Amino acid sequence: MSEAATIVPAWRVAGDWFDVCKCNIPCPCSFAQPPTYGDCDGVLVWHIREGHYGEVQLDGLNVLMLGSFVGNVWAEHSDAYAAVFLDERADEGQLGALQMIFGGQAGSWPAQLVTMLGPEMRGMDVAPIEVEIADDRATWRAAVPGRIEARAEALTGPTTPDGTRVQSTGLPGCETGPGQLATWGRATTDQVDAFGFTWNRAGRSSKTITFDWSGPG
């Protein structure tokens, strides 16, 4: 590969991430603790509200990952594997940019995460990814039709003032990196049948967290 082919342009992506997973509420992984049942699997979704990779615009595109691991994801863990879906609306240049950023080759937080987790890749596909995140953080949803459906609602209870959300900053195991805001929720649907990942459950942990990354570096 030539030197020119490896040059990473200035880039930035900012938006919202969420997951629905196997853990009880709240997910211990976000607090850098072992998962509830000693292992975890789930759906992870990134919606880019605004972004670019050099001159390539990435606004509105989505990435979805299925992931599984055993142990504390931030410490000693094993059997980490994943599969990734990239937004079918992306053109060739955008697909290349998404692969560079989310694969860790473009640096910043994704590079740290990939190095830390070291997952075995079980597959990748370009597919329609439907993502809906309410502006007031009341609900969030993602789907790859016929293969994945993930829905969640913000936590609420008898002492929650109307319109407010259960939120955290400074999480010791923030999946999207330092300085981000998490909103806690409960999965209402978590159905997966893709790349050997199969489950159907509800009522477990979910949270949506902002992300804002830039690179290279």
In this prediction, residue 168 carries a pLDDT of 97
Taking each continuous run of H as one helix and of E as one strand, the counts in the chain are: 2, 13
Tokens 């994704």 locate to 110
Would you place residue 173 in the very low, low, confident or very high pLDDT band (cuts 50, 70, 90)? very high
Residue 102 has pLDDT above 50, yes or no: yes
Tokens 């937004």 locate to 87
Would you place residue 1 in the very low, low, confident or very high pLDDT band (cuts 50, 70, 90)? very low
Would you place residue 119 in the very low, low, confident or very high pLDDT band (cuts 50, 70, 90)? confident
In this prediction, residue 118 carries a pLDDT of 81
Q: Which residues, at least 6 apart from 162, have a Cβ–Cβ distance to it below 8 Å? A: none
In this prediction, residue 5 carries a pLDDT of 54
H or E element in which residue 39 lies: strand 39-53
Mean pLDDT of the 168-195 span: 97
